[in-house]
Amino acid sequence: GENVEQHPSTLSVQEGDSAVIKCTYSDSASNYFPWYKQELGKGPQLIIDIRSNVGEKKDQRIAVTLNKTAKHFSLHITETQPEDSAVYFCAASITTGANNLFFGTGTRLTVIP
């Protein structure tokens, strides 16, 4: 099955700086890569996703890049704010014929005011 590795496990940045979280995956058939944000006491919530037919996707201060050859994808958060503090999970999946997201182990991001 798919194996998703995520780094770093913890990340602290100053408010206004950028944060980058990286993930690698093992199954070359994976073609859907979402990122979820989990705030304290809540369930994970989708913040952005990318499919394998594009290399980059942006939504305001967050962006995701995908390198299918190297089998890695990254989340970039610019101009970080204290409310960005949370645990972020990457995931990978095959979109058809399967209905299972394989999650990374999570990155705890702390934005220091």
Partner 1 sequence: DAGVIQSPRHEVTEMGQEVTLRCKPISGHNSLFWYRQTMMRGLELLIYFNNNVPIDDSGMPEDRFSAKMPNASFSTLKIQPSEPRDSAVYFCASSPLSLSIGELFFGEGSRLTVL
Binding part of the chain for partner 1, among 12-20, 66-74, 76-84, 103-111 by CB under 8 A, reads: 103-111
Residue 7 burial (CB count, 10 A): 13
- Smallest separation (angstroms) from partner 1 to the CB of 72: 18
- Smallest separation (angstroms) from partner 1 to the CB of 57: 14
Query: Which of 11, 13, 29, 94 is the binder for partner 1 (CB under 8 A)?
Result: 94
Q: How many CA atoms lie within 13 A of 14 on its CB side?
A: 1
Pair of tokens at residue 45: 């919530």
Query: Which of 25, 73, 89, 111 is the binder for partner 1 (CB under 8 A)?
Result: 89
CB closer to partner 1, 64 vs 80 = 64
Residues 48-77, interacting with partner 1 (CB under 8 A): 49
- Smallest separation (angstroms) from partner 1 to the CB of 50: 13
- 2 Cβ contact partners less than 8 Å away, ≥ 6 residues apart: 25, 26, 27, 30, 92, 93, 94, 102
Q: Are 29 and 94 in contact (CB under 8 A)?
A: yes
Q: Which amino acid is at 63?
A: A
